[in-house]
A and B are shown apart, each in its own frame.
Chain A
């Protein structure tokens, strides 16, 4: 009976899991040491100095400053070291490596919707190829949810109205729990699913086979770009007159705004530019762009963003290539134990 197994540790199935567990193990050792130390001292003292006569009193001594310093500074140093380690892992977990492929996730009461770069869609289950770094761009259609895969040791809230990200590189074939970890209403505990890590060849077969195929987000975005008439103002190609700024190479650039502030053109910025164009006006342009609030769904927004991102830095309009050549460097994440990544299959 499965309910009588006694699990202590979850499986390690991502490149980051080993380091998180190592950090936990070190913390555990530190904690055990201090708990044992304090427990032992207390036990020794209460036995050794137990009251023997009714009118006995203790021997009060004055605080030794060096003792106070010792027991403040040692824990402090330990904690600072652990802080640094934890921060490093945290930053790694927030910055997808260069070879990561972007998937999209949408949280909704009470289900997960996923979209693969190839266009396949899934609900509550996410198939991914072994060894491939995967960046998930996520948003919610209603309340706050949280994408958590314990076996990968990652977790990230999924918020309405903006994007959050997480990434992982699966290192082990198998099926792993996917939980919604942020309380989101009645069926919160049913907002669960699985991440299925497959051999890349099986994954390719799965993609090609029965799975709900569709347009890739970039292609869908390109179509929306013309059907929503974005293209009338944001004409593509250099040197042409346009009513709106060129979106070529926009993503990842610092944009200078009216009033002199600059912002990084990330997903949230592009999303905001579409649903609330007035919030930030690009320097030198008129605030004439209409809002698309309510006219595009979260998924369509994601597709538009994917398309604008795909415009990259290349002079000509890119055609759906995920990454400009030359940026496909191996992950600089610094995580040990990552399986060597087979190139993504396109």
Chain B
């Protein structure tokens, strides 16, 4: 145990620097705020997951026998809203990003610690609004809030949910703002742009989207609320308004938002591949710039969600071709990760299993995305289960795999504890298998024509639905396991070294868990990231996963 030297351990870590609820709820330490976020998003993930299980149970049979139609509609709406706005968007940035952006660039904290804490409170407030709507009877508009249904026809709690999402937007904006300023202004001496870990590049790109896109969804949902409450006509077709204008505004944010969801995941994967192949990411600059390219191009393709809404076919053509362009930087990433494995020194720790799973599932999700961007195909599969399968592959197969991989990778750093190796590998396997069983059949269902948001369906679709439900239960167990053994490790886990994986990166140069201001001595960076050099003595790897 070298860096966790006795002297260093004499002073408190960020976890022991103050006790009691006040020291947490009024903290300005980015690491503690990350933990606050971690706990809250786990809660919302479980809630969204429960809704998912209810959806899958209802769909076990073609008839609507478990819940009523209106209840079903609320289920998938709350599932979508919670998973997207309360779980996936904050997931990696607000937990792993919050914790590791300052650590990885050698800063003492984010640029605006108070704003960081504020963003968590705003998140909680937004979540409270959403929960309030949920408890009082829920919403049934779908997570897309399409008008005029949401403004005029739905008689559920649209306004409080929309305001909830509106509020959550500001939480996201503040996080992004904080990251941008931090990455620009707080890098340690010697930490040049091309010495930044790819995780940082990914978060920088993500923050750009958060800052430039989120205000649009905020104002859009505000308009929905205003139209619904005050009966101002903004999208109302009865006044000559155009509901498709709402869709433009919604997707101007929500397409880039899917890159808010996946870019941080891609950043995590770059770190994992580098650490577990013990080599520099192949084509570092290409991977870095591809994040930026995705962020920028991602703003030009939102119309691919509107191909069949009555949008002009010429606009559709433009949006289609740019959607294809935005897939190129994703391809660059996938190929560079694969090439990094070549001549690496690959170990199969749990995080690496998740990373490899990510590459496979994201590739499938991405390729089907490009199919959807093909105008003639979207003609057939738009708004069917093909879409559902596509985005669960990228969001669950992609981002959640990355999130879990990252959580397992940095868990020893965040908590100072090691978790059980066998259970964690088992869970990675269960998630992979369960995931495919849940969502692959949905591609077939989609091509067969089964529409999404259907409470009942034609009987010939049943077999695939049964398979999907079966898969979902495996998946559920796969997610439940980490919850158990990670919690367990907090109490019974072995103490972790400063650098249990023998990985490179500033975050591994401080103690596990780090002190309040991250580093005991000022940091000076002298080498590019991932400088694994053979001659140099590499810290012996701790017996990590055998607690």
A and B in contact, CB less than 8 Å: yes
A interface residues (Cβ-Cβ under 8 A, vs B): 2-10, 19-20, 23-24, 27, 30-31, 34-35, 38-39, 41-42, 45-46, 49-52, 54-61, 63, 67-68, 71-72, 75-76, 79-80, 82-83, 85-91, 93-94, 109, 142-144, 146, 148, 150-151, 153-157, 159-162, 164, 177, 179-190, 192, 276, 279
What mask results when residues 318 to 344 of chain B are scored 1 for a CB within 8 Å of chain A, else 0?
Answer: 001100110110011011101111111
Q: Which among B140, B343, B373 has the greatest number of chain A C-beta atoms within 10 A?
A: B343
Provide the residues of chain B in CB contact with A94, threshold 8 Å: 313
Question: Is B190 in contact with chain A by the CB < 8 A criterion?
Answer: no
- From 379 to 406 in chain B, residues with beta carbon under 8 angstroms from any chain A beta carbon are 379-380, 382-384
Sorted nearest first, the 9 A-B pairs with minimum C-beta distance are A150-B449, A58-B279, A89-B376, A161-B237, A90-B375, A86-B374, A58-B344, A45-B341, A63-B283
- From 484 to 507 in chain B, residues with beta carbon under 8 angstroms from any chain A beta carbon are 502
Provide the residues of chain A in CB contact with B512, threshold 8 Å: none
Question: Is B458 in contact with chain A by the CB < 8 A criterion?
Answer: yes
Q: State whether A155 touches B383 (Cβ < 8 A).
A: yes
Q: Select one of B324, B334, B345, B530 contacting A51, CB under 8 A.
A: B345
Give the A-B contact count at a CB cut-off of 8 A: 297
A68 in contact with B348 given A45-B338, A161-B238, A181-B384 (CB within 8 Å): no
Known pairs A31-B368, A151-B449; list 18 more (Cβ under 8 Å).
A5-B463, A10-B447, A10-B448, A24-B380, A27-B367, A42-B341, A49-B343, A61-B343, A63-B336, A80-B321, A93-B379, A144-B146, A150-B449, A155-B380, A161-B242, A181-B382, A185-B140, A189-B451
Closest to A188 in B: B453
Closest to B383 in A: A181
A144 in contact with B376 given A34-B367, A57-B279, A186-B69 (CB within 8 Å): no
Q: Which among B320, B334, B346, B531 has the greatest number of chain A C-beta atoms within 10 A?
A: B346
Provide the residues of chain B in CB contact with A51, threshold 8 Å: 278, 345-347
Q: State whether A155 touches B367 (Cβ < 8 A).
A: no
Q: State whether A71 touches B376 (Cβ < 8 A).
A: no
Q: List 25 A-B contacts (CB under 8 A).
A: A2-B459, A6-B463, A8-B448, A24-B380, A38-B334, A51-B346, A56-B534, A58-B279, A63-B284, A67-B283, A68-B283, A80-B321, A83-B375, A142-B148, A144-B148, A150-B384, A150-B448, A156-B308, A157-B309, A161-B237, A161-B242, A182-B383, A184-B149, A188-B454, A192-B458
Q: State whether A88 touches B376 (Cβ < 8 A).
A: yes
Closest to A33 in B: B367
Shortest beta-carbon distance from B68 to chain A in Å: 8
Q: State whether A189 touches B69 (Cβ < 8 A).
A: yes
Question: Is B460 in contact with chain A by the CB < 8 A criterion?
Answer: yes
Provide the residues of chain A in CB contact with B343, threshold 8 Å: 49, 58-59, 61
A159 in contact with B142 given A45-B342, A71-B332 (CB within 8 Å): no
Q: State whether A57 touches B243 (Cβ < 8 A).
A: no
Q: Select one of B153, B363, B502 contacting A143, CB under 8 A.
A: B153
Report Cα–Cα, A220/B313, bound state, in Å: 32
Q: State whether A31 touches B367 (Cβ < 8 A).
A: yes
Question: Is B310 in contact with chain A by the CB < 8 A criterion?
Answer: yes
Question: Is B457 in contact with chain A by the CB < 8 A criterion?
Answer: yes
Provide the residues of chain B in CB contact with A93, threshold 8 Å: 376, 379
Question: Is B113 in contact with chain A by the CB < 8 A criterion?
Answer: no
Q: State whether B460 touches A2 (Cβ < 8 A).
A: yes
Closest to B536 in A: A57
Q: State whether A157 touches B310 (Cβ < 8 A).
A: yes
Q: State whether A68 touches B286 (Cβ < 8 A).
A: yes
Q: Select one of B331, B368, B452, B533 contacting A75, CB under 8 A.
A: B331
Provide the residues of chain A in CB contact with B530, threshold 8 Å: 60
B interface residues (Cβ-Cβ under 8 A, vs A): 62, 64, 69-70, 73, 140-142, 146, 148-149, 152-154, 237-238, 240-244, 277-280, 282-286, 307-310, 313, 316-317, 320-321, 324-325, 327-328, 331-332, 334-336, 338-348, 356, 359-360, 363-364, 367-368, 370-371, 373-380, 382-384, 444, 447-449, 451-463, 502, 530-534, 537-538, 540-541
Q: State whether A83 touches B321 (Cβ < 8 A).
A: yes
Report Cα–Cα, A189/B69, bound state, in Å: 8
Q: Which among B367, B373, B452, B530 has the greatest number of chain A C-beta atoms within 10 A?
A: B367
Provide the residues of chain A in CB contact with B285, threshold 8 Å: 63
Shortest beta-carbon distance from A111 to chain B in Å: 15
Q: State whether A63 touches B286 (Cβ < 8 A).
A: yes
Provide the residues of chain B in CB contact with A187, threshold 8 Å: 69
Shortest beta-carbon distance from A163 to chain B in Å: 8
Closest to A40 in B: B338
Q: State whether B447 touches A24 (Cβ < 8 A).
A: yes
Q: State whether A159 touches B457 (Cβ < 8 A).
A: no
A183 in contact with B142 given A31-B364, A159-B237, A189-B69 (CB within 8 Å): yes
Provide the residues of chain A in CB contact with B69, threshold 8 Å: 186-190
Q: State whether B345 touches A49 (Cβ < 8 A).
A: yes
Report Cα–Cα, A55/B321, bound state, in Å: 47
Q: Select one of B278, B316, B320, B363 contacting A35, CB under 8 A.
A: B363
Q: State whether A68 touches B367 (Cβ < 8 A).
A: no
Report Cα–Cα, A10/B464, bound state, in Å: 14
A181 in contact with B451 given A35-B363, A42-B356, A45-B341 (CB within 8 Å): yes
Report Cα–Cα, A71/B363, bound state, in Å: 14
Q: State whether A58 touches B332 (Cβ < 8 A).
A: no
Closest to B360 in A: A39
Q: Which among B148, B238, B342, B379 has the greatest number of chain A C-beta atoms within 10 A?
A: B379
Closest to B276 in A: A51
Closest to B338 in A: A41
Shortest beta-carbon distance from A11 to chain B in Å: 10
Q: State whether A34 touches B363 (Cβ < 8 A).
A: yes
Q: State whether B449 touches A179 (Cβ < 8 A).
A: yes
Provide the residues of chain B in CB contact with A34, threshold 8 Å: 363, 367
Report Cα–Cα, A85/B455, bound state, in Å: 35
Q: Select one of A3, A68, A188 contacting B460, CB under 8 A.
A: A3
Provide the residues of chain B in CB contact with A54, threshold 8 Å: 502, 540-541
Report Cα–Cα, A159/B244, bound state, in Å: 9
Provide the residues of chain A in CB contact with B141, threshold 8 Å: 183
Q: State whether B342 touches A42 (Cβ < 8 A).
A: no
Provide the residues of chain B in CB contact with A61, threshold 8 Å: 282, 343
Report Cα–Cα, A171/B140, bound state, in Å: 38
Q: State whether A148 touches B237 (Cβ < 8 A).
A: no
Q: State whether B70 touches A186 (Cβ < 8 A).
A: yes
Closest to A90 in B: B375
Shortest beta-carbon distance from B304 to chain A in Å: 11
Closest to A154 in B: B379
Q: Select one of A60, A71, A75, A85 contacting B279, CB under 8 A.
A: A60
Q: Which among A20, A148, A164 has the greatest number of chain B C-beta atoms within 10 A?
A: A148
Q: Select one of A56, A82, A155 contacting B308, CB under 8 A.
A: A155
Shortest beta-carbon distance from B38 to chain A in Å: 30
Q: State whether B377 touches A20 (Cβ < 8 A).
A: yes
A55 in contact with B328 given A63-B283, A181-B451 (CB within 8 Å): no
Report Cα–Cα, A134/B148, bound state, in Å: 29
Shortest beta-carbon distance from A194 to chain B in Å: 11
Report Cα–Cα, A291/B538, bound state, in Å: 81
Shortest beta-carbon distance from B493 to chain A in Å: 22
Report Cα–Cα, A34/B359, bound state, in Å: 12
Report Cα–Cα, A39/B358, bound state, in Å: 11
Q: State whether A20 touches B380 (Cβ < 8 A).
A: yes
Q: State whether A87 touches B331 (Cβ < 8 A).
A: no
Closest to A71 in B: B335
Report Cα–Cα, A63/B331, bound state, in Å: 15
Shortest beta-carbon distance from A343 to chain B in Å: 28
Provide the residues of chain B in CB contact with A59, threshold 8 Å: 279, 343-344, 534
Q: Select one of B241, B310, B341, B364 contacting A49, CB under 8 A.
A: B341
Report Cα–Cα, A144/B280, bound state, in Å: 51
Q: State whether B320 touches A83 (Cβ < 8 A).
A: yes
Closest to B445 in A: A7
Shortest beta-carbon distance from B144 to chain A in Å: 8
Q: State whether B313 touches A189 (Cβ < 8 A).
A: no
